[in-house]
Amino acid sequence: MQIPLNLMEPPRPHLVDGVIGKNAAALSALAALIEGPSKGFESLFLWGAPGSGKTFWLKAWAEDHPDSAIYIDLKAPEPSQQATDPLSQVLAQYQSGPPQACLLLDHLNTAHAATAGQLFQLYNAAREVGGRIVCAAACAPLHLQLRDDLRTRLGQSLIFELQELNDQEKRTALQERAMRLGLPLADELIGYLLTRLPRDLGRLMQVVDGLNELALSRQRPATLPLLKELLDS
């Protein structure tokens, strides 16, 4: 049974799979904003390099607490894809009052200019009716290529930089994922993953899930030859 990695569905992110690392203060602020009592308008801005966990944590909150958090991807589509309008529905909801859930807006640094204009309207509406907004981007608000008035709004948020996990923290995350799958995973295999693959934790989790599927289909333990076979596919 071949399981090509580019066809495997990435695992759905869940809070239980997250490793906090050096991001305790940022993630505590995120949890408080989503789960805490409404205090009127509140905004949080998370930024960090690729692999720092921005998308994981936002999607995990929306996945595990859909009544409290709504994830919206602001990433501009590829030229071959049809353009989307991710904020129109949210803006319409603000006409009658803020949604009960916190808005989690991802990939702000890649948003279209039109989307940025809608986000400016959204911040103004949220201030009036007491909404809660979290934005995530690859850089701090000051360095975003956006209109000045929107950068000013974003810069007034509570701002945190997320730090990428180190190798030991990634090793722990992969071991815990394997344990939840019931997949005994030797340190040798995790070391192989960390040295032979890009160290994006989401991608590594995807490989662990694929190895589990392959081991179950073959009714074999997870071994280095089986892992190599999966990667070669």
Total domains present in the chain: 2
Report the CATH number that the domain containing residue 118 is assigned in CATH: 3.40.50.300
Write down the pLDDT at residue 90.
84
Q: What is the span of the domain harbouring residue 25?
A: 16-161
Listed residues 114, 133, 161: the one ending a domain: 161
Report the CATH number that the domain containing residue 201 is assigned in CATH: 1.10.8.60
Write down the pLDDT at residue 88.
83
Q: Are residues 55 and 149 in the same domain?
A: yes
Question: Taking a C-beta distance cutoff of 8 angstroms, is the pair 53, 203 a contact?
Answer: no
Kindly report, residue by residue over 190-207, the tens digit of the pLDDT.
999 998 888 778 888 889
> Would you list the DSSP string of the chain?
----GGGSPPPPP-GGG---TT-HHHHHHHHHHHHSPP-SSEEEEEE-STTSSHHHHHHHHHHH-TTTEEEEE-PPPPTTSPP--TTHHHHHHTTS---SSEEEEE-GGG--HHHHHHHHHHHHHHHHHT-EEEEEESS-GGG--S-HHHHHHHHTSEEEEPPPP-HHHHHHHHHHHHHHHT----HHHHHHHHHHS---HHHHHHHHHHHHHHHHHHT----HHHHHHHHH-
Confidence check: pLDDT of 17 > 60 = yes
Kindly report, residue by residue over 56-89, the tens digit of the pLDDT.
999 999 999 999 999 999 986 654 455 567 788 8
pTM for the whole structure = 0.83
Does the residue 100 lie in any domain? yes
Bigger pLDDT: 113 vs 61: 61
Q: Are residues 208 and 119 in the same domain?
A: no
Does the residue 202 lie in any domain? yes
Does the residue 8 lie in any domain? no
Listed residues 161, 181, 210: the one ending a domain: 161
Listed residues 161, 177, 199: the one ending a domain: 161
